Structure 1
Amino acid sequence: MQKIFYMLCCALVLLCGTSCEEHMDIENRPISQEVVTPNPKIEKLIQQARQGEIEAYEALAVCYRDGDGVKKSLFNMMTMYMLSCKKSGKDIEDIIKTLDENNPLRLLTEVLNHVRIGEAPQEAVARLRSVSPADAMIYDAIYAFECMNDTLASQQLLKEAEAKGSDIACVLQILLYEELGNQELYKQSLHKYADKFPVLYVKLGDLSMRDEKEGHWEQAAKYYTIADNNGMLTKRGARALSSAFRMLEKEGKIKCDPQEMARLEALVQYK
């Protein structure tokens, strides 16, 4: 069980204006309506987050927690807190412990943070079922996967949890497909959920960076830029985006803005 929760946290650590004057039509890429027309408060916080400001990450986390100016999202909340922790050196588990005792993420953590699923206290499971039935189905899905060795049942339970509104179930589906080595479903899921959870664009950028098809540098840059435009560019993503722009400049396709390249380099300096 602890491994599953660790995988979820690692996904956030690893995933997670344009950066060049000639920007390859990046600003015309399809993105969600929330990003196209954010309210002034969210737009300001995003611009501050793009500069790596810890307070902006934490403020955006609260916005995602409460649905203030953005669609309420446990995973996007956790993403912003993870980015804050990577910048400040804090522990994400300490942040989670400060959440309201009825926050689904805190309850889910209490249930999942055990070596084995059987060690999860049933009173905690019952409380999670009461507060967030959809997220409680994650417990059932992992139980099926870990204790019953029933991958199909686990996948179905995660899909049902997603249908009932669980953000975390969406991401665990991606991780499960990766764990099972199903690259087709893994990539399909990344594309399916990336608009909902923009940090996933970092992972799509990583896949494009490794691709050998013509135009893969441009595609990777577009993906990383979408994450950046949502204030969710991770240390890994900032480093990769910088590399992609340098390769494109070397090929004579763009001319990089030194100030933007310096901003990306500053984002790479996370702890």
Structure 2
Amino acid sequence: MTRIRIYHSLFITLTATMSAVTTLADNAIDFNETNMGESAEVIVSDTLPVSEFTAVHGDTFVSLTNLIERVRQGDMQAYETLADCYRYGKGGVEKCMFNAIICYQLAGQKPIDVAEAAFNANPNDELGLMNHLMVIMDKHGLDSLGVAMKSVDIPDYKWANLLKNIVANAGSDNSRDYILSMVDGNSTGDEFLMAFASLHILTRHLPDLESTPKALLMAEKVPFMYNHAGEKQWDKYREDESANKENLDSAIMYFQKADVNGFLSPRNARRIMSINARKCADISRYFDKNDIQRLIRIGGSDEDYDEADVVEMDMNPVEKIEDTESAQVPTL
């Protein structure tokens, strides 16, 4: 059995909701079947087209806010456009390959195929290069990654420069503290990804997203991670529902943070709509009536959520995956 790609490991370890991404893509709403006015092709930013619709009064909305709203409704083509926005730093969002990877997945594409095609066409393509380096890191470790990175000139990407520094200090006894010291509120989502990916390779452990302030900062740059933060609070609430109602409110707050950016998972949409949540929390603090109808569509049902249906992910999957890869150091 071969090792899985490192950012897939991170999806499992950081979010425990990788299956939810595919589910959301499967449950995406077909806007061609909705009555929202006449269809019009518009440009969101430079060369990024999205299938948009005119409102009743005839105006066409092309703002990032409108694109996010279409994403929140489950429009797969909007997810693809948002992926391109994150990939190229267009349309008013900060460039972030990790967000692009998530959005491509939500759009029903295979991010690995997109990245490999980009790398084959241009080895300096940022998404393709990141994927290529992370595959080397996952299969061969940081030492081999360092050798590979020295063999070519790598563009001046912030995450690549951080990765070079991490590799150079990987043998230090304080490497974990050093890695965590390199990311803060000013770091990009991709810098957080490099830091936590490296930490995972070195220690087979990642800081808990909810309890570690620096890890929670990553969610501000990669909003999909708010799903995991909310799930941690949800689990604490379910341990003792009568005593831990504050955890329920915190869970819904984190789910709302994921939702406003278009990254709420269907499973967590169902949690928000569950009987427990509606009885014990003030849902209206975070979601209005229109949101409720949208959450029902995204989640697939407004019935009580059965925790037994949750597939628990292995929190350290790489430890149990047999490494049969060649020991040969790859080249870029």
- Deviation of 1:12 after TM superposition, in Å, equals 6.6
Paired residues, number: 235
Pairing 1:182-201 to 2, within 5 Å after superposition: 182-183=207-208, 187-201=212-226
For residues 73 and 184 of structure 1, the distance between their equivalents in structure 2, rounded to whole angstroms, comes to 19
Which secondary structure does the structure 1 equivalent of 2:273 belong to? Answer: helix
- Deviation of 1:58 after TM superposition, in Å, equals 1.1
Match of residue 262 from structure 1: 296
Which secondary structure does the structure 1 equivalent of 2:245 belong to? Answer: coil
Match of residue 258 from structure 2: 227
Identical aligned residues as a percent:
20
Q: Normalised by the size of structure 1, how large is the TM-score?
A: 0.68
Distance of aligned partners of 1:136 and 1:199 in 2 relative to their CA distance in 1, 3 Å threshold: same
Kindly provide the CA deviation profile for residues 132-157 of structure 1, in whole angstroms up to 9, marking residues without a partner as x: 36415426636865xx4x46225525
Is 2:80 aligned against 1:58? yes
Distance of aligned partners of 1:223 and 1:203 in 2 relative to their CA distance in 1, 3 Å threshold: same
For residues 107 and 186 of structure 1, the distance between their equivalents in structure 2, rounded to whole angstroms, comes to 32
Distance of aligned partners of 1:240 and 1:56 in 2 relative to their CA distance in 1, 3 Å threshold: same
For residues 129 and 145 of structure 2, the distance between their equivalents in structure 1, rounded to whole angstroms, comes to 11
Pairing 1:118-133 to 2, within 5 Å after superposition: 120=145, 122=147, 125-127=150-152, 129-132=154-157
For residues 196 and 140 of structure 1, the distance between their equivalents in structure 2, rounded to whole angstroms, comes to 21
- Deviation of 1:225 after TM superposition, in Å, equals 1.4
More contact order relative to length (CA 8 Å, sep ≥ 6): 1
For residues 42 and 72 of structure 1, the distance between their equivalents in structure 2, rounded to whole angstroms, comes to 14
For residues 112 and 94 of structure 2, the distance between their equivalents in structure 1, rounded to whole angstroms, comes to 24
Equivalent residue letter for 1:220 = A
Is 2:10 aligned against 1:8? yes
Is 2:245 aligned against 1:217? no
Which secondary structure does the structure 2 equivalent of 1:194 belong to? Answer: helix
Distance of aligned partners of 1:186 and 1:151 in 2 relative to their CA distance in 1, 3 Å threshold: farther
Specify every segment of 5 or more residues in structure 1 that has no aligned partner in the other structure, as ranges: 17-38
User: Which of these two proteins has the greater Rg computed from alpha carbons?
Assistant: 2
| Conserved 8 A contact 2:234-2:247 | yes
| Conserved 8 A contact 1:193-1:200 | yes
| Conserved 8 A contact 1:49-1:56 | yes
| Conserved 8 A contact 1:135-1:161 | no
Match of residue 112 from structure 2: 93
What CA RMSD, in Å, does the superposition of the two structures yield over aligned residues? Answer: 3.7
| Conserved 8 A contact 1:104-1:135 | no
- Deviation of 1:185 after TM superposition, in Å, equals 8.6
| Conserved 8 A contact 1:49-1:231 | yes
Is 2:150 aligned against 1:116? no
Equivalent residue letter for 1:116 = H
For residues 182 and 268 of structure 2, the distance between their equivalents in structure 1, rounded to whole angstroms, comes to 35
Match of residue 267 from structure 2: 239
Match of residue 330 from structure 2: none
For residues 126 and 176 of structure 2, the distance between their equivalents in structure 1, rounded to whole angstroms, comes to 20
Q: Where is the helix percentage greater, Structure 1 or Structure 2?
A: 1
Equivalent residue letter for 1:97 = E
Kindly provide the CA deviation profile for residues 136-183 of structure 1, in whole angstroms up to 9, marking residues without a partner as x: 5426636865xx4x4622552564477995533313444637943654
- Deviation of 1:91 after TM superposition, in Å, equals 2.3
Distance of aligned partners of 1:232 and 1:41 in 2 relative to their CA distance in 1, 3 Å threshold: same
Task: Using the TM superposition, name which of 104-113 and 245-254 deviates more.
Answer: 245-254
For residues 181 and 62 of structure 1, the distance between their equivalents in structure 2, rounded to whole angstroms, comes to 29
- Deviation of 1:220 after TM superposition, in Å, equals 1.0
